[in-house]
Structure 1
Amino acid sequence: MSKFSLQDLEKIIASRADVTDGSSWTAKLVSGGVEKASKKFGEEAFETVIAALKETDTDLIGESADLLYHLLVVLHVRGVKIDAVLDELARRTQQSGIVEKASRPQ
């Protein structure tokens, strides 16, 4: 099992976000703001769905990695920490998914 975590990826993204020498894809996404980062995240979500439906497990793993990376870039641009998302997941898993979804405001 990997010891690499989403928090590790979050730190890498933060360290690369301000690189100005043109070598960082992360910096290019961040410089485009939430619109560019979100658009790329959406593209990766679509590619992940296609991989889940029609491609190999290896393809799905690769697309899932891309999706998680681009989600963390969006969170970085918005100033949201991955721990806040994980805390929300932990809160939600303390009850059944049906009960939790029903408790959300409509």
Structure 2
Amino acid sequence: MSYDVYERVFATILDRKENPEEGSYTTYLFDKGLEKILKKVGEESTEVIIASCRQNKEDVINEYGDLIYHLMVLMAELGISLEDIDRVMEERDQKTHNLKAERKPIENL
């Protein structure tokens, strides 16, 4: 599996942030700002959940692509690099037997 495509897409996103291009959806998101980007991440997350509930693999795959793209736009907006995420994933890869206890139920609202 090659992850070069993620690097290319992220590089394009970073370029749109630095060099806005008219008619670009990525430029549109940066122009609208953090709130719009966060709304899109939330929307795409919900669409992943809905597609997963329906168990339509092709729809789930497409929604994952949309979510990953919007997460990358959010990363660029917040100054987070792929290397930052890679470092966290490397750390997680080293962990074993890391089962966390169940959260306590909410008793008072």
Q: 1:79 to 1:3 in 2, by over 3 A?
A: closer
The percent of aligned pairs where both chains have the same amino acid is 32
Q: Which has the larger radius of gyration?
A: 2
Match of 1:26 in 2: 26
TM-fit CA distance, 1:16? 2.4
TM-fit CA distance, 1:2? 5.0
Match of 1:38 in 2: 38
Give deviations 1:36-82, integer Å, cap 9, x for gaps: 11110110000011111114111111000000000000000111112
Match of 2:94 in 1: 94
Match of 1:16 in 2: 16
Q: 1:93 to 1:75 in 2, by over 3 A?
A: same
Does residue 52 (structure 1) correspond to residue 55 (structure 2)? The answer is no
TM-fit CA distance, 1:20? 4.2
Alignment of 1:63-78 (within 5 A): 63-78=63-78
Letter in 1 for 2:26: T
Does residue 80 (structure 1) correspond to residue 80 (structure 2)? The answer is yes
Letter in 2 for 1:7: E
Cα RMSD of the aligned pairs, angstroms, is: 2.0
Length-normalised TM-score, structure 1:
0.82
Task: Quote the Cα distance in structure 1 between the aligned partners of 2:89 and 2:4.
Answer: 19
Question: For structure 2, which runs of at least 5 residues remain unmatched after alignment?
Answer: 102-109
Task: Quote the Cα distance in structure 2 between the aligned partners of 1:66 and 1:46.
Answer: 11
Any idea what SS the aligned residue of 2:94 has?
coil
How many residue pairs are counted as aligned between the two chains? 100
